[in-house]
Chain A
Amino acid sequence: MKAAFRQSMSWLHTWTGLLVGWILFAVFLSGTLAYFNSEITLWMQPETSQTRSQSDAVAKGGAWLQQNHPDAVEWSIFPANERGGAVRVLWTPPPATPDAKPVRDPDRDIAWLDPNTGQQINVRDTMGGAFFYRLHFDMHYMPRIWGRWIVGVCAMFMFVAILTGIVVHRKIFTDFFTLRFNKGQRSWLDAHNVVGVLALPFHIMITFTGFVTLASMYMPWGIAANFANDDDYFKSAFPQPEIPDTRGAPAPPLDLAAALATVDARWNGASPSSVTVFRPADTSAVVRMFQTSSAQIDSRADAIVMNRAGEVIWAKAGKGAATQTFGVMVGLHAGRYAGPDLRWLYFLSGLGGTTMIGTGLILWTVKRKRKHAAKSVAHVGLRLVEVLNTGTIVGFPLGVAAYFIANRLVPLDTVERAEAEIGWFFAAWGVSYIYAALRPAPRAWFELLAAAAAAFAAIPLLSAFTTGRNLFTSIASGDWTRATIDFALLATAVLFAFAARKVAAKSDAAPSHPRRSREQAQTS
């Protein structure tokens, strides 16, 4: 009975893992990269310097708007956090006639500022690290809602695979430190087990909280039973600041200093992350600020509304237990609260999860290859899995390299430039599948791994030639974020080169005629 139970769990583990493994690999790796989304964006916008103080960046944004758009009817300031760079400012110009409705032109009424000088800069049009963040749960080239359903279903499979994996593994403590190299299938299983067990708390947490982030979409019945519509639910669960509508008399454009002093005192020094000023050139001006999400684990940021003098006219009341639980779970998942040390731990655990999925996928083929090799017939299913494995495990990182390269090579005046960069990502990834399908398996692994190594090594070089920044200037100027990314890219190149060498050595060593090599082994 017990053996039968474990066997059925093993079956479930194998097939839930395989069926969605490729999507999960992409979801895990993009999510892992998204832990450094602000840093990647900073690297991808070499025109800006790094934000030293988020509050100061808001003040700089306010000052710029005060000077350049004093007559606007609305200002918005989106500073980067201290991990990122440029400040984005938006404004709504006054309507042509007093009775007309003010309209904002999304292409024209926007500017980017350097967070430290407050000067307007021309940053390149890129999604930066936000692309990986979006890809992680929205996918791409499809309606968001589809992407979220696909990722949600895959997350459920992941959860099943984790739980069944624990049952199947059995020797979690005995095999805790066991990792044997160069033993074929045994080594892949060891590696799969070790990365799975070591980061197990992370895997369980990240899969469960990932599901929770979109729980109300996947399970809408609780809301449907208690509220007339979604709007009522959102109003009740996440009260939004109310903006008074009464108009006063014209006044000089608002100075944010008073409002910033108020939040500085109320939020124990936590910075605002998004600031909107309604009617800045009126005595009735209202300032709304959301607190940066790095201030607490809870992802639901505090909000506050102030008048011209910086006096509070609305503040978020205490949160209910359920909303707070939800907010903490989402916060735990996204890790926005994490400082640099904890962020690296998140990143490494994420890489562990990615490796767990990758080794699991490879293990599936290694297991079956031995069986089929005995029969010496080509197996369509095995070949399909092999191609998908190669195209995903090496192809996705190759796409990441292409995305970084595109960021430096796509001309700055390209229309829809950000989307063009993303096109490079999917082109490189897609071509990897075709390439893997056209080449015999070991060659495809080797050649794609070598290509990935070359591509990652090329990025810091390309960057040095196409921008004023390179690894040495970054280090010299104390720009550690960009220097670390250059280092990480080079380290990734070394890792892929190492993997390529391993594959090459293995396929050279693999006997082309198994029988003869066995004879040789016996005679020696």
Chain B
Amino acid sequence: MIHLLGFVAALCGFVLLCAAMQRHQTEIFGARLAPALGRNLRYGGGALIVAAWLIDALGLGWAVGTITALGHLTLAAGLAIALLHWRSAALKKARAPARSKQA
């Protein structure tokens, strides 16, 4: 249960951090976000990463919890990259027919 919570917090954290980066915003939303929103996403993402560590550390003890949190962060970042890839591929696909209709 702790593992699931820690991992989900880390995953949400990385998704927010990714969405906070201007270079990925067009891939995710199709447009850039307002800088203020981007900043808030970054703070939120950072907070969730810290939360993931705290969840693991309080649930499993500081030593094992910290090691586990690093593992969760690695796995979560990997999955966040996969999600980004799927999202941008889906977005491209959705836009392709729209564009060809315009042409």
Residues of A within 8 A of B (CB): 174, 176-179, 181, 194, 198-199, 201-202, 297, 332, 337, 341-342, 345-346, 348-349, 352
Contact = CB atoms under 8 A, between A and B. Distances in A.
Contacts of B18: 176-177
Contacts of B81: 177, 179, 194, 198
Given A177-B84, A297-B63, A198 B78 contact: yes
B74 A352 contact: yes
A297 B64 contact: yes
Interface string B66-88: 01101111110110110011000
B78 to A, nearest CB: 6
Contact of A199 (B67, B74, B80, B85): B74
21 contacts: A176-B18, A177-B14, A177-B21, A177-B81, A198-B74, A198-B77, A198-B81, A199-B74, A201-B73, A297-B63, A332-B67, A337-B64, A342-B64, A342-B67, A342-B71, A345-B72, A345-B74, A345-B75, A346-B71, A348-B71, A349-B74
A194 B81 CA distance: 9
B20 to A, nearest CB: 10
Contacts of A181: 85
B32 interface: no
Interface of A is mostly: helix
A201 B67 CA distance: 9
Nearest to B70: A201
B77 to A, nearest CB: 5
Contacts of A352: 74, 78
A341 B85 contact: no
Classify chain B: how many residues form its interface, as a range.
20 to 34
Contacts of A342: 64, 67-68, 71
Residue of A176, A202, A352 ringed by the most chain B CB atoms within 10 A: A176
B85 A349 contact: no
A177 B80 contact: yes
A201 B72 CA distance: 12
B33 to A, nearest CB: 15
B72 to A, nearest CB: 7
Contacts of A297: 63-64
B68 A202 contact: no
Nearest to A337: B64
B21 to A, nearest CB: 7
A199 B75 CA distance: 8
B40 to A, nearest CB: 18
A341 B72 CA distance: 10
A201 to B, nearest CB: 5
Contacts of A178: 23
A32 to B, nearest CB: 13
A202 B74 contact: yes
Contacts of B24: 177
Contacts of A349: 71, 74
Interface string B20-33: 01011000000000
A117 B75 CA distance: 40
Contacts of B23: 174, 178
Contacts of A174: 21, 23
A348 to B, nearest CB: 6
Given A177-B21, A201-B74, 14 more contacts: A176-B17, A177-B18, A178-B23, A181-B85, A194-B78, A194-B81, A198-B77, A199-B74, A202-B74, A297-B64, A341-B68, A342-B71, A348-B75, A352-B78
A173 to B, nearest CB: 9
A198 B79 CA distance: 11
A178 B18 CA distance: 10
A100 to B, nearest CB: 51
A297 to B, nearest CB: 6
Contacts of A194: 78, 81
B27 to A, nearest CB: 9
Contacts of A345: 68, 71-72, 74-75
Residue of B71, B72, B77, B78 ringed by the most chain A CB atoms within 10 A: B71
Task: Identify the 5 closest CB pairs spanning chains A and B, nearest first.
Answer: A345-B71, A341-B3, A201-B70, A199-B74, A177-B18
A179 B78 CA distance: 10
A69 to B, nearest CB: 40
A148 to B, nearest CB: 26
Contacts of B68: 341-342, 345
Nearest to A341: B3
Nearest to B56: A342
Contacts of B21: 174, 177
A198 B75 CA distance: 8
B18 to A, nearest CB: 5
Residue of B17, B21, B64, B67 ringed by the most chain A CB atoms within 10 A: B67
A201 B14 CA distance: 17
A84 B63 CA distance: 26
